[in-house]
Structure 1
Amino acid sequence: MTLKRTTERIIGTRSHVEFINVFDKESVESKSDTIRMFKKWALEFLTEPHPDLGRAGPVCPFTGPSVDRQLFWAGVLDDANIDFDTMAAIAEDMADIYQELPPGEGKDAIFRAIVAIFPNISNFNVIETVQLQRKSKFVKNGLMLGQFYPGCLQPGLWNDDFRPLDSPLPMLAVRQMVSTDYPFLATRSEWMSAYLKKFAPTMPSPARAYIVAKITS
């Protein structure tokens, strides 16, 4: 799919939402109040350790390297009433845009990230619904689709009382699937099949199917 692109922004072909490189110091749009709030949260929460995390290291190991390499993109939709179809179109745009983000190859490609921010919505159920209904398609294509919003109760992997997705802004986020994503995918056979196909490509398909059946049964 051909994307509308300028030096500093990429425009989704379905939603027409503009995504900018938020840690590019020359980007004027990165100075908006919403983007400033997002950057503050990303730098002060995601890139830092937390006493309730349950393991050493930052809350999100990928955010710091993504920021340092200026590979973090974000789009903002200010509408207060965003329905499922609109948000789903934005998610589909992000999946397409992600594949076009530089660098397309090489060791730094894993640190690309893109988020859509919805600062004025109060119905967070639409975020949960889009994330759940679109996750399978993302996983099949080697991507992870995550939901963030104020009060999100999704527990952390290492501490059930920690809430890593509780954020000051409602968002959907896309990043590349990595080998450590196994715990997020073990509950559904289609997710585990995609995971093993990506990280164990030389394993015969009957063997992968057997392992998936054992894990998800």
Structure 2
Amino acid sequence: MTNRMAYQRIVGTRSHIEFLNILDEEEFDSPDRTMGILRNWARQYLTEPHQDLGRAGPVCPFTGPSLERRLFWAGIVQGDNIDFSLMTKIAQDMADIFPELSPSDGKDAIFKAILAIFPDLTDFSIIDAVQSYGKSTFINKGLMLGQFYPGCTRPGLWNDDFKPLDAPLPMLAVRHMVSTDYPFLTERSEWMAAYLKRFAPTVPPPARAYIVSKLES
């Protein structure tokens, strides 16, 4: 068995949840199937096209490069006694941990991702509540906080019938905000202000047209 301590890990100061690189985790034996389910979902779903997606390319354009560069991290939160307070602490830990993960800058930094997985959770409304509560804080840090769980009905951007957040495991995910995230940020002026502060004047023309149409509607 490979020595687990040889691999990099980082622990949240509030929640004490341990986050590991999921590709390092692959190198040693583990009785927990959760990481295997996560890796299969990432490799076989997120990195592949889908007929109902509504655009060309993979479901998530960032997952493939993230896996190739070994920049995909996750922490498993066991038990079904997870409440809003604990999950909020975990999300806050992820916001603190994310900048510490290598690389901190350079062209590859945009592909970093960190997830918290709740394999025993059955009340998925907690995930929605924590994501909604924390979204503004993450956006102001230049990050995106996403929710995934079995049966999530939030529609895709290009096809209302496609449900991209329907996942085999309940989880929260954190990544860098990118210039194409503008459709997720039009609900609040403060979110758009944070977006424009970060990306103007390099906002792509499609984003400018979309923003103008929202302001005029």
Q: Give the ranges of 4+ consecutive aligned residues of structure 1 lying more than 6 Å apart after TM superposition.
A: none
Structure-2 residue corresponding to 1:134: 134
Shift of the 153–101 alpha-carbon distance from structure 1 to 2, 3 Å rule, reads same
Length-normalised TM-score, structure 2: 0.89
- Aligned-pair identity in percent equals 64
Amino acid at match of 1:141: K
Q: How does 1:139-150 map to 2 (within 5 A)?
A: 139-150=139-150
Inter-partner Cα distance in structure 1 for 2:66 and 2:44: 14
Kept after mapping to 2: 8 A contact 1:149/1:171? yes
Q: Deviations over 1:196-217 (max 9, x none)?
A: 00001699xxxxxxx89x7287
Amino acid at match of 1:188: R
Shift of the 124–158 alpha-carbon distance from structure 1 to 2, 3 Å rule, reads same
Q: How does 1:190-205 map to 2 (within 5 A)?
A: 190-200=190-200
Deviation at residue 24 of structure 1 after TM alignment? 2.6
1:173 pairs with 2:173:
yes
Deviation at residue 31 of structure 1 after TM alignment? 7.1
- Could you tell me which runs of 5 or more consecutive residues in structure 2 were left unpaired when the two chains were aligned: 204-210
Amino acid at match of 1:181: D
Higher mean C-alpha deviation, range 17-26 or range 105-114? 17-26
Deviation at residue 7 of structure 1 after TM alignment? 4.1
Q: Deviations over 1:112-158 (max 9, x none)?
A: 00000000010000000000010000000000000000000010000
Inter-partner Cα distance in structure 2 for 1:39 and 1:26: 9
- Could you tell me which runs of 5 or more consecutive residues in structure 1 were left unpaired when the two chains were aligned: 204-210
Structure-2 residue corresponding to 1:74: 74
SS in 2 for 1:108: helix
Length-normalised TM-score, structure 1: 0.89
Aligned alpha-carbon RMSD (Å): 2.3
Shift of the 51–99 alpha-carbon distance from structure 1 to 2, 3 Å rule, reads same
**Alignment coverage as a number of residue pairs:** 206
